[in-house]
Amino acid sequence: MSDALKDLAIVPVTSSDTNYFLRKVTGLKIDRTYSFKFQWVLEDDTLSDWSPGYQISTPTEDVPSAPSVVIPATAIGNIPVTLSTFPANTKRVDIYIIGGVYGTGKVADSFFSAGTKNISVVAGVYQVSLIAVTPSGINGDPTNTFTITITNLVTEDTVAPNAISSGVVSGGVHPQDSSGQLGYLNVAVTNSTIPTDFAGYIVKIVGGTNTWTQTFNSTTALSNLYITGGLFVGQAYTLSVATTDGKNVSSYINCTPAPFTIADTRSNTSTVTGDLSFSATDSILTVSWVGSTDPYVDSYRVQVTANTDTTFMNVLQTVESKGTTATFGGLTSNTTYRVRVTARYSGAAGALSTSHTIGTFTLNASGNNPNKLEVLVTLRSYGSFK
């Protein structure tokens, strides 16, 4: 059946030669004969008679031969396809694959020039062929069908490292927290066999209603896992430890004791710096000192007793001071008193030092310090007094 007649276009005359015009016609099919004629559109919009008829035949399109291709019999992870030469009279070369996600056959990719394409697929057996396509969309001769077997790129590791044998928990006040409120935990680990792909430990911490983890990245075995952050003195925590290779995680091994309560076990042996200083007015004694250099010291216990009470067994008055002075009233004139200052640590436990700074002071008959001058006394430090 022949194509229907139709107007191509109305073409303006752009040349002074009214017997000349140019019209480029696109979209013609190959291997066809087309007939055409024309007529002039006159200045009064009337049409001239039709010209004689003309014919033109479009050329026959050569169908490309099968492309030259290289496809191996086996590969890992993808199908490598190499097109050695891009065929003449070809718009593209389609890669046609049967198998896997391509089912009974689909175009997986196309070449627009010679080269190599790697088509990613899962493990399996595939059939591959190539077909050249002409500019007008005509398929050329296909290549032979190549069969290729694909194996996985990497065998997936699904085995976790061996779990630890045991973990023992200890802890105390965080060494960088002068308030004595924050704590730390340490797990002493007994390891099993460490594999070559070992990547570290995961510690699970349960405190009250909160649960969180802390990861320790290491390619070698660790004997201690030091945990900080979110831990408080006086709180109880339950810990368990797992190992990991970065992807797989072993079972969690419960640590002992469980739970573990962080206690303030700091040993306080601090003293004030230098001697005690004394002054008195109207039977009121003021004691002053230079504070301890120990950052954990938060306050001081100051005690007054009779001079004869060298062991402070019968303390007359006790004052707790956050500063470096303490005042005592109601003292008796013409009497010598013994004063002891003991440093106290911060935190709920408030551990007192096992060392003390002691001095003596005598009020005169009027209950004042003579000449109201500050009296410095000899520093004495004793251990184990409380």
Residue 368 pLDDT > 70, yes or no?
no
Determine the average pLDDT of the residues in 201-223: 94
Is the confidence at residue 381, as pLDDT, over 70? no
Q: b or e along 171-193 (b: 16 or more beta carbons within 10 Å of the residue's beta carbon)?
A: bebbeebbebebbbbbbebebbe
Residue with tokens 């430990």: 201
Average model confidence (pLDDT) across the chain: 85
**DSSP E strand stretches across 234-283:** 236-244, 253-254, 260-261, 273-281
Side chain identity, residue 161? P
What are the residues whose beta carbons fall under 8 Å from the beta carbon of 123, sequence distance 6 or more? Answer: 150, 151, 152
Query: What's the pLDDT at 153?
Result: 65
Amino acid 41: pLDDT: 79
Tokens at residue 70, please? 């290289």
Tell me whether the CATH fold assigned to 1-60 matches the one assigned to 69-151: yes
Q: Does domain 1-60 correspond to CATH entry 1.20.1050?
A: no
CB 78 within 8 A of CB 120: yes
Question: How much is the pLDDT for 36?
Answer: 78
240: pLDDT strictly greater than 80: yes
Q: Which pLDDT score is estimated for 4? A: 55
Report the distance separating Cα 189 and Cα 198, nearest Å. 15
Topology at the third CATH level for domain 166-261: Immunoglobulin-like (2.60.40)
User: Is the alpha carbon torsion for 226, 230, 233, 236 positive or negative?
Assistant: negative
Give pLDDT tens digits for 56-65: 877 777 778 8
Give the whole-angstrom CA distance, residue 262 versus residue 237.
8
The structural domains of the chain, with segments of one domain joined by +, span 1-60, 69-151, 166-261, 273-383
Q: Which CATH number fits domain 69-151: 1.10.1040.50, 2.60.120.260, 2.40.10.10, 2.60.40.10?
A: 2.60.40.10
Residue 339 pLDDT grade (very low, low, confident, very high; cuts 50, 70, 90): very high
Q: Per the structure block, which two tokens stand in for 300?
A: 């001081």
- pTM for the whole structure: 0.48
Is it true that domain 273-383 has CATH number 2.60.40.10?
yes
**Which residues are registered as beta bridge partners of 124?**
150
- Beta strands (DSSP E) in 124-272 are 124-133, 139-142, 146-151, 166-173, 183-190, 200-207, 210-217, 224-227, 236-244, 253-254, 260-261
Q: What is the DSSP string of 85-138?
A: SPPTT-SEEEEEEESGGGTT-EEEEEESSSEEEEEE--SEEEEEEEEEE-TTS-
SS3 61: coil
Candidate from 122-126, 161-165, 173-177, 226-230 with smallest mean pLDDT: 173-177
Identify the DSSP state of 142: E
Cα(367)–Cα(364) distance, rounded to whole angstroms?
Answer: 5
* Cα–chain center distance at 334: 72
Provide the token pair at 377.
């006394």
Residue 153 to residues 72, 79, 117, 202, Cα–Cα distance (Å)? 16, 12, 17, 29
